[in-house]
């Protein structure tokens, strides 16, 4: 009975994490909320945050800039079949909350194009192992 309850509680916690826009990423969290839409003719920004909490309070976290590396957005639009990797650059590191944030300004989509959506996933290296998010699809709008 106790095992079932704790497993259920863990599942609810994971559900709440996903609802709040976070995904599990190795020993930490990926903080990201996809845009509802991309407005053509307007630059748009991708911002991704990572945090890392040790399982044991005595364990050293290490520098997050050494843990999370090679952060990139792999992106394609409805007119292309191949993904293009767009590197993300370090925006800020917040040691007090064990967070690190990366940013990338994405290419503006012309309003006279036939592009109806953009698909992408985020990839990073976490302690030497590549990880990636699920595939996101965001509609492109004229307003």
DSSP string, 53-66: --SSTTS----HHH
Q: Which residue in 60, 55, 43 sits closest to 95, CA to CA? A: 60
Instruction: Give the CA angle between residues 95, 100, 103 to the nearest 5°.
Output: 145
CATH topology of domain 22-141: Immunoglobulin-like (2.60.40)
Residue 60 is predicted with a pLDDT of: 54
Show the tokens assigned to 124.
């990073």
Per-residue model confidence as pLDDT tens for the chain (143 residues): 333 333 333 333 333 333 344 443 345 778 888 889 999 999 999 999 988 765 555 555 567 888 889 999 999 999 999 999 999 999 998 877 788 899 999 989 999 999 999 999 999 998 889 999 999 999 999 98
Residue 130 has what pLDDT? 93
Joined together, the tokens standing for residue 138 give: 């965001």
pLDDT of residue 30: 82
Predicted local confidence at residue 139, as pLDDT: 96
**pTM of the predicted model as reported, rounded to 2 decimal places:** 0.72
């Amino acid at each position: 009975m106790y095992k079932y309850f704790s497993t259920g509680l863990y599942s609810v916690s994971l559900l709440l994490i996903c609802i709040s826009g976070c995904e599990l990423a190795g020993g930490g969290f990926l903080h990201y909320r996809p845009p509802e839409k991309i407005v053509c003719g307007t630059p748009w920004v991708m911002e991704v945050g990572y945090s890392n909490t040790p399982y044991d309070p005595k364990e050293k976290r290490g520098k997050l800039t050494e843990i999370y590396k090679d952060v990139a957005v792999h992106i394609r639009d409805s007119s292309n079949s191949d993904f293009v990797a767009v590197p993300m650059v370090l925006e800020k590191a917040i040691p007090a909350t064990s967070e690190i944030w990366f940013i990338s300004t994405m290419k503006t989509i012309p309003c006279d194009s036939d592009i109806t959506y953009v698909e992408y996933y985020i990839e990073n290296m976490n302690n030497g192992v590549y990880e990636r998010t699920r595939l996101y699809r965001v509609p492109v709008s004229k307003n």
